[in-house]
Amino acid sequence: MNTWFVILNVIGLLILVSLLLYMQRRHVSFSKRVFTGLGFGIVYGLIMHFAYGTGSETLAESTAWFDLIGTGYVRLLQMIVMPLVFISILGAFTKITIGKNFAKMATLILGILLGTTAIAASVGIAVAIGFGLDASQIVQGTAETERGISITEKSTEVVDKPLPSQIVDLLPQNPFLDFTGARPSSTIAVVIFAAFLGFGYLTVARREREHAAILKKGIDAVYSLIMSVVKIVLRLTPYGILAIMAKTVALSDFGAIYSLGKFVIASYVAIVVMFIIHLLILLLSGLSPVMYVKKVGEALTFAFTSRSSAGTLPLTLNAQTTRLGVPEGIANFAGSFGLTIGQNGCAGIYPAMLAVMIAPSAGINPLDPGFIATLIVVVVISSFGVAGVGGGATFAAILVLSALNLPVALAGLLISVEPLIDMGRTALNVNGAITAGVTTARVTGELDQKRYNEALENQTAGV
């Protein structure tokens, strides 16, 4: 390893950070700075990748320093996720309109999240069949074998638990422990705890209005405080995306991507098709898909680069409320539930495609209508279980493959291109949550259509 080259690489990143700071001082719009950071990261990552090679110690040491900005930014976002989820759900109950239309709102959000997951599973199945994907076509090396063993070990922890036990695990036994994220089901446990407090608030509001007013004032004050912290962290987005993307591209195994190109392309075809379906849902709701795309770009860009739906939550809420005109209550529910239920990419497309790929190795015809119908149902049901066991797409795959009696270890075959595919899946997850929020607000008549249709340059990003 050459220390001087490491120093030069770090200086190069700092120069790019300085350029983004200059753009900020020149009052260049937040959106342009975010996409500029993305572009800088891709180009700088490519330069380092071809200059040093993936296995270079110099590159590994350089990107470790990049983590101070990239991973540091993600950690700050993760820091506020649990408080934000909690106060968002609780605060939603204090909104008068939410109190009146709670049942309809919750039903619509959950219906859209689960309904689009079923559609996503169908898309994944169709694409996998259309591309003729077959797990036997993948060469299984050391990395794939080790990954398969790891997944098999995890599956014993998950599958051995009966369904009632898995459901019980979702409930918060110690809310304060769940605020630390100590359990795999901590996020959904915090959502449930906040919902119970919310229902408690509604009871107080009916019986003791003076106390309810005090509670509402306190909840609103805490919400304002958390959102102030969120805005401070979001200002760092262009720099975080720059560092994350530079590291991702620099360390990408392009050889593996080339050899598994068919599987990568098929995955992204399915993801793009599902994005289009989201836009069609908005169009059928009487909303402009073009305007929508313009306003969610920052949130989806960060989701793509960070591969973290939870870390993207502040941006998810900001896009809905500040730019798309979704009431805070609906946005909070859609964003928070979207973290734990009905993730179209990780819990919909991915396990469905894997099941179709692996089915022939177990002597199952993936074209059998009974198998396809069962797979879709299992995927939808398992999208609840993903939140219960944690681990995102991997655990979704474990649950689905185990339920269908398919070899779980084969889920490790795509480990070489997993990060690349996961970027698109995460962006789709976030887009599904935003779509659920916007569509629900439109159907309930609570969407601020003037704000939705207002030109982006006339809006502030809230950061």
pLDDT band (50, 70, 90) for residue 389: very low
> Mind listing the pLDDT tens digit for each residue in 351-372?
899 899 888 887 888 889 999 9
* Residue 242 CB neighbours (<10 A): 31
Boundaries of every domain in the chain: 3-458
CA distance 422 to 267: 10
Give whichever of 178-192, 247-261, 394-408, 416-430 has the largest mean pLDDT: 416-430
In sequence order, the 6+-apart residues with CB closer than 8 A to the CB of 308 are: 74, 77, 78, 426
- Supply angle C-alpha 303, 228, 291, rounded to 5: 45
- pLDDT for the residue 390: 43
Short-list 29, 24, 88, 22, CA closest to 461: 29
- Helix axes 70-93 and 237-251, enclosed angle (nearest 10): 130
- Just give the CATH number of 3-458: 1.10.3860.10
> Mind listing the pLDDT tens digit for each residue in 121-170?
999 999 999 988 877 655 454 444 555 555 555 555 555 566 567 667 77
Q: Is 359 exposed, middle or buried (0-12, 13-18, 19+ CB in 10 A)?
A: buried
What is the torsion angle, in degrees rounded to the nearest 10, for the CA atoms of residue 305, residue 306, residue 312 and residue 318?
Answer: -40
* Contact (Cβ atoms closer than 8 angstroms) between residue 333 and residue 85: no
* Residue 314 CB neighbours (<10 A): 28
More confident residue, 102 or 432: 432
- pLDDT for the residue 96: 57
- pLDDT for the residue 223: 86
* Both tokens assigned to 426: 């995460």
Short-list 431, 14, 21, CA closest to 235: 21
For residue 280, pLDDT beyond 90: yes
- pLDDT for the residue 162: 61
> Mind listing the pLDDT tens digit for each residue in 189-213?
888 898 899 889 988 988 888 898 8
- pLDDT for the residue 145: 52
The whole-model pTM stands at 0.80
Short-list 110, 81, 106, CA closest to 310: 81
High-pLDDT (> 70) share of the chain, %: 85
